[in-house]
Amino acid sequence: MILLFGRLRDLVPEGALEGLALPQSFTYAQLVDVLEAVSPVLVEAICEPGVKLAVNQAFVDKTEALILKAEDEIAFLPPLSGG
């Protein structure tokens, strides 16, 4: 499951990530390639330095050699602002 929060959610048509065909095991780079086919604008946004990646509700480094699984919960979170 891929979750998008904040402004990232607005970059993808509703339902575009549902039923996304992901292999049983894949790297972060492969995930980016799959998302590129859905929305190049989204990929540009998630590659920004302030966007965080969480896997199964734990933050991870996007530059790690991550091995993801189809059943993982993958979330992208944009920087938060407040006052």
Question: Tokens 């607005």 — which residue?
Answer: 10
| DSSP states along 7-23 | GGGGGS-TTTTTT----
Sketch out the chain's domains with CATH numbers: 2-77 (3.10.20.30)
Who's near 1: CB < 8 A, 6+ residues apart? 72, 73, 74
Q: Is the pLDDT of residue 83 over 60?
A: no
Residue 55 β-bridge partners:
58, 74
pTM score, whole prediction: 0.87
At 4 the three-state DSSP class reads: strand
Express each pLDDT in 10-56 by its tens digit: 999 888 888 888 889 998 999 999 999 889 999 999 999 899 999 99
